Structure 1
Amino acid sequence: MSPGQLAFDLPHRAALGAEDFLVSECNLAAVRLIDAWPNWPDPVQVLVGPPASGKTHLVRVWQEGSGARMLDPVTAGLPWLDAQAPGTCIAVEDADSAGFDENTLFHLLNLAREKGFSVLLTARAGPNRWPFSLPDLVSRLSAVPVTDIGVPDEALLRTVMLKHFSDRQLTIEPKVLEFLALRIDRSLEAAAAAVDAVDRAALRSGRKISRQLVSEALERTATME
């Protein structure tokens, strides 16, 4: 990190290999959920958050600690579930949008109680908004505990952007970073997109990252949407 760059006092959690998971108030409950396994009060847990909020990172952390297997919507059906040993941990990513068979999910929830499975499902919205119609599945999901990843606070948003710039070997002055952070939506997806737009603008123009370049990059992005 260059002397001109900002640093924020946020703890780091290793996730997805070399990447770091940044812990802040908005995702602290989710981190505590992962840390609490295997002492979950309910064997099935749902982790909800917007795109790029860190759900996949936390699933990978949980897999490393639990040996959890990933349920695939195409190949992992009822026979695959029945073949799993008692106590197996199973992760289900994008449970609301990946095209999972409803009978398979219902059977998974039953096995969580019958065979002591630990199940972690992730989604962008809570189970009451999932596009399922099987009454028993809908009823069962309504009772599953849900942990939300909230909107990132300003410190997390700026730290994430600073990391993205650093990963691209780019430097950004503290005041320019603050200028950028105030002009994007408060989401990690928006932060990543903003850094990409600024990076492309800097490459095109051959200029250093400044307030003017940031303004031009964001304006260009807005006109393309």
Structure 2
Amino acid sequence: MTASPRQLVLDLAHRQALGAEDFLVSNSNAAAVEMIDAWPRWPHPASFVAGPQGSGKSHLANVWRLRSGAGIVSAAELSDTLVASLPDAAAIVVEDIDRGIADEKVLFHLLNRARESKLSVLLTSRVPPGEQEFHVPDLRSRLRALPMVEVQPPDEALLKAVLVKLFDDRQLYVEPQVIDYLSVRMERSMAAASNIVADIDRLALATHRKVTRPLAAQVLAAMGESRE
């Protein structure tokens, strides 16, 4: 049997939409969305968002960044020079507190400045601060005292909505049964949804096939083999 011809596929980057209009809300992230919407009327100048990888923290932080005009830095790159350069009433996102902090004293200083200079600070982490170890005295208690919301992994309803939007962004029409099939078999994360849709798009284009349940199953099987 002659193999079906494959079309040459150009590996062009697909721009990830990270605006407020692209953020889908469900029970898993509603509390975090309410907190972002409450800015600048926060009860404390700094707030904390915790949630597992792929739950949408970075997207949510970007929504707040666009709204507040904040800068953004990973905790591993936080420096005294950066904190000192922030003007009063500025805003900043500090991401991935749990993945390493360049200098804990600098973070402590940033939280002090937030109170003294009306800075707005949004911190993100995969785990709450109470589950982390810190070397600087009082940093853990200072972080634990911040208002915190937890983002849960996307539920099935949110996954379906995300899949529909990702396919629509690529101008792919997909039957509801394909969405149903994927949503109960895939890893429950935004990153997984994005990767699956990209792989399905690539395979459909290369093999001149419509996006069907068998094609989706083929992609899931291939991704499972790669993870193993």
- Normalising by the residue count of structure 2, what TM-score does the alignment of the two structures yield? 0.81
Unaligned runs of 5+ in 2: 1-16
The 8 Å contact of residues 19 and 63 in structure 2, kept in 1 or not, is answered as no
Alignment match, 1:66: 68
1:125-182 Cα deviation digits (max 9, x unpaired): 1112335322221221122221111122222111111111122222211112211212
In 2, Cα distance between equivalents of 1:203 and 1:98 = 41
Matched residue type, 2:71: R
* Residues 165 and 98 (structure 1), Cα distance of their counterparts in 2 relative to 1, 3 Å cut: farther
Q: Which residue of 1 aligns with 2:114?
A: 112
Q: CA deviation at 1:73?
A: 5.0
CA distance in 2, matches of 1:117, 1:200: 44
In structure 2, distance between residues paired with 1:131 and 1:218? 37
Distance 2:175 2:185 in 1: 16
User: Are 1:24 and 2:10 counterparts?
Assistant: no
**SS of the counterpart of 2:122?**
strand
| Identity rate, percent | 46
Partner amino acid, structure 1, of 2:143 = L
Give 1:154's match in structure 2, choosing from 135, 153, 156.
Answer: 156
State the partner residue of 1:77: 79
Are 2:56 and 1:54 equivalent residues in the alignment?
yes
Q: For residue 65 of structure 1, report the CA deviation from its aligned partner.
A: 2.7
**Count of residues in Structure 1 that have an aligned counterpart in Structure 2:** 211
Deviations 1:91-125 (A, max 9, x none): 11222225431111011111122222221101111
Distance 1:28 1:73, change over 3 A: closer
Partners of 1:198 and 1:218 within 8 A in 2:
no
Aligned to 1:220: 222
Gaps of 5+ in 1: 1-14
CA distance 1:74–1:157, shift in 2 (3 Å) = closer
Match for 1:199 among 179, 196, 201? 201
Compared CA separation, residues 84 and 207, structure 1 to 2 (3 A): closer
Q: Which AA in structure 1 matches 2:219?
A: A
Q: Cα 1:123–1:25, aligned 2, differ >3 Å: closer, same or farther?
A: same
Note closer, same or farther for the CA distance 1:75–1:100 as it changes in structure 2 (3 Å cut): closer
Q: Deviations over 1:171-224 (max 9, x none)?
A: 211112211212112222222222233223323432222222222221121112
Structure 2 CA distance for partners of 1:167 and 1:122, relative to 1, 3 Å: same
Q: 1:218 to 1:42 in 2, by over 3 A?
A: same
The residue aligned with 2:6 is none
AA aligned opposite 2:214: Q
| In structure 1, C-alpha distance between the alignment counterparts of 2:220 and 2:174, rounded to whole Å | 16
- Which residue is equivalent to 2:127? 125
Per the normalisation by structure 1, the TM-score is 0.82
